[in-house]
């Protein structure tokens, strides 16, 4: 064997061993972690999308792609999970391999789409591809798609790529997002009383998007979380590690308990308890499997509520990306073209679903299955309860300008999503994830800006935008949390210390972009009741006005409502200064 061949084999063995051990450690099957106290998370923050002022149109219907392979163009392999957020990419390709008449082939590429649900295998494949490209630049490139808020954990592959002389690189374009199918499913009692989740256990794939949904819901409702999946804390929300999203659903369906050590206030009690999965964080078809095979769980919160959380993000190596700039831009153009078609025309969406069925390869799940759950449905589960299942959205070019903040006055939503959940996971899992790669080392928006310049002044199909009706009351509450926003004494103006809390509040509300916001103002009992009532109203109004001024697109007319309670409903004694400070509060309720 040549010297390079030995090096290649050695690096691959190290990469596979590294990711394999990581997965075993994450599952808790081999090593037990040190005792870790449960954590009350500070706000999980995500920013607002801002809309543009361009003319918007509906794209005309284009001919559907053919079925015969194009057999020409720059070869690329695209590894994807079984996830409906990729419908635009499916239509763009025309089939598992690029077909004649497809927008991918028209842009000079020949893409082979391969299902890969194992992110560890995706990481190892990227390392191998980087080494293959090093010895043979004509090697087909590799692009992988993952949940955007799971990329911080995925970025652990950077160390192995650097040994191969390259690094991670994002394609600055997203083909779609989860819009309901990724969800926290739990007992119906959790809807009315989130504190009922304390002492319960959620099965999920750790350090990925679905767990992030559960973590944000806990944060929004002031619930402690136990980050150690090998112990049980009766005063916190616990987690059960699963190897993937389908295995997470199976843990609930089978109901097999795990023996764990009970901890209280971070201390090992020495008591052993059996713990089973009470809830699941998963996505389609995991949610469908739960409903049809066992039932008993409903959607507590999902990406329909946390609508900015989970875009589909494509990752490759910098070695391939830098050497194939025209091809990357062609891929983005192809996806943009198909995104408009999938969003606008049922026949295009149906074709994309048929292609998805071919790619995912489940014999019992034809195109009609993926089409049904792309749209999202409400169905009775095995127990007769009605539960929401599925739900995704395709992205077009305008959606991507919103996502990456390239519209006038826009915010790079994805940059904040990445940092927010990277920081959360790093805090909860410092041993498994001591650090993550800064996004600006992987994301370059130059190609997206070039496309934006190409289309400047031309009519564009519109981006998704939530609509709210003024006066509509919140009928279903998702979360309720008190915020310590400091006001100047007896006034409705903010102290300097309030600015950080307001910024956290802003980002926290934006992730839940499709939920209405109720701002409830409270005072202590100092002063006259009528004056306190008025003061609580003006303070709540000040918060609502601050949010709308910061981003009119994130807080359009009708989204925010204000309620005044004066000194009513104290949460602490007004006999002490500390108690009065707690009663001078703003409570935020999210719902629809």
Structural domain spans, the chain: 477-591
pLDDT digits (tens, 9 = 90+) for 427-459: 889 998 999 999 999 999 999 999 999 988 887
Q: What is the dihedral of CA 398, 400, 402, 405, to 10 degrees?
A: -130
For the chain, give the percent of residues with pLDDT over 90: 67
For residue 340, name the pLDDT band (cuts at 50, 70, 90). Answer: very high
Question: 561 pLDDT exceeds 50?
Answer: yes
Confidence (pLDDT) at 557: 86
Give the whole-angstrom CA distance, residue 154 versus residue 156.
5
Looking at domain 477-591, its CATH superfamily turns out to be: OmpA-like domain (3.30.1330.60)
Mean pLDDT of 355-379: 97
Of the given ranges (32-46, 116-130, 509-523), which has the lowest mean pLDDT?
32-46
Report the pLDDT value the prediction gives residue 415, as an integer from 0 to 100. Answer: 84
Tokens 């194009």 locate to 70
The token pair that represents 385 in the structure block: 């309860």
pLDDT value, residue 75: 98
- The answer on pLDDT for 572 being more than 80 is yes
Place of tokens 């002490």: 576
For the cut 70, the answer to whether the pLDDT of residue 38 exceeds it is no
Q: Does residue 400 or residue 209 have the better pLDDT?
A: 400
pTM exceeding the 0.85 threshold for the entire prediction = no
Q: Please determine, for residue 30, whether its predicted confidence score (pLDDT) is greater than 60.
A: no
Which pair of tokens denotes residue 459? 């009519």
Note the pLDDT of residue 292: 96
Mean per-residue pLDDT, 15-19:
42
15 vs 398, residue with greater confidence: 398
Q: Which among 294, 295, 284, 253 is positioned nearest to 362, based on CA atoms?
A: 284
**Residue 251 burial (CB count, 10 A):** 22
Contacts 24+ apart (CB under 8 A), 446-450: 446/172, 447/172, 447/325, 447/328, 447/329, 447/332, 448/172, 448/173, 448/332, 448/400, 448/401, 448/404, 448/406, 449/406, 450/329
| Residue 457 backbone zone (phi > 0: left; psi -120 to 50: alpha; other: beta) | left
């Amino acid at each position: 064997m040549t010297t390079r061949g030995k090096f290649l084999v050695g690096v691959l063995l190290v990469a596979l061993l590294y990711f394999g051990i990581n997965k075993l450690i994450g599952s808790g099957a081999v090593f037990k972690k040190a005792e870790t106290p449960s954590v009350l998370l500070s706000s999980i923050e995500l920013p607002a999308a801002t809309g543009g002022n361009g003319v918007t149109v509906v794209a005309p219907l284009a001919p559907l792609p053919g079925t015969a392979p194009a057999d020409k163009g720059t070869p690329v392999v695209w590894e994807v999970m079984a996830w409906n957020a990729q419908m635009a990419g499916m239509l763009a390709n025309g089939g598992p391999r690029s077909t004649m008449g497809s927008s991918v082939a028209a842009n000079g590429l020949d893409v082979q789409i391969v299902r890969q649900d194992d992110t560890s295998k995706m990481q190892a494949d990227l390392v191998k591809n980087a080494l293959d490209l090093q010895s043979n630049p004509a090697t087909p490139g590799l692009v992988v798609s993952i949940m955007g808020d799971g990329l911080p954990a995925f970025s652990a592959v950077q160390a192995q790529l650097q040994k191969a002389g390259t690094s991670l690189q994002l394609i600055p374009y997203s083909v779609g997002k989860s819009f309901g199918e990724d969800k926290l499913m739990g007992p119906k009692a959790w809807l009315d009383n989130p504190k009922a989740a304390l002492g319960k256990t959620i099965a999920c794939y750790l350090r990925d998007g679905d767990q992030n949904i559960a973590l944000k819901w806990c944060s929004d409702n002031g619930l402690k979380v136990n980050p150690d999946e090998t112990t049980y804390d009766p005063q916190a929300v616990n987690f059960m590690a699963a190897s993937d999203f389908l295995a997470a659903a199976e843990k609930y369906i089978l109901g097999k308990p795990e023996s764990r050590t009970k901890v209280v206030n971070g201390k090992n009690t020495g008591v052993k308890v059996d713990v089973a999965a009470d809830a699941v964080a998963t996505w389609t078809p995991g949610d469908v499997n739960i409903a049809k095979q066992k039932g008993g769980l409903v959607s507590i919160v999902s990406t329909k509520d946390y609508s900015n959380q989970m875009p589909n993000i494509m990752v490759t190596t910098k070695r391939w990306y830098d050497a194939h700039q025209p091809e990357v831009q062609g891929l983005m153009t192809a996806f943009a073209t198909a995104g408009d078609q999938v969003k606008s025309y049922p026949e295009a969406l149906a074709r994309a679903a048929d292609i998805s069925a071919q790619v995912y390869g489940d014999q019992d799940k034809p195109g009609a299955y993926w089409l049904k759950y792309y749209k999202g449905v409400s169905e009775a589960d095995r127990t007769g309860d009605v539960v929401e299942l599925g739900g995704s959205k395709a992205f077009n070019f305008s959606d991507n300008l919103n996502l990456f903040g390239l519209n006038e006055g826009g915010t790079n939503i994805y940059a904040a999503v990445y940092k927010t959940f990277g920081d959360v996971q790093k805090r909860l899992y410092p041993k498994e994830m001591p650090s993550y790669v800064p996004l600006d080392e992987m994301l370059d928006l130059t190609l997206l800006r070039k496309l934006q310049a190409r289309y400047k002044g031309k009519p564009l199909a519109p981006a998704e935008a939530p609509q709210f009706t003024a006066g509509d009351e919140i009928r279903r509450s998702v979360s309720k949390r008190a915020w310590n926003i400091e006001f100047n004494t007896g006034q409705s103006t903010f102290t300097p210390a309030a600015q950080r809390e307001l910024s956290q509040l802003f980002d926290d509300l934006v992730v839940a972009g499709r939920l209405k916001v109720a701002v409830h103002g409270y005072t202590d009992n100092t002063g006259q009741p009528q004056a306190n009532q008025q003061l609580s109203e003006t303070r709540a109004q000040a918060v609502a006005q601050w949010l709308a001024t910061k981003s009119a697109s994130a807080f359009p007319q009708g989204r925010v409502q204000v309620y005044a309670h004066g000194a009513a409903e104290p949460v602490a004694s007004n006999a002490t200064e500390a108690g009065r400070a707690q009663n001078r509060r703003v409570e935020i309720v999210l719902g629809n």
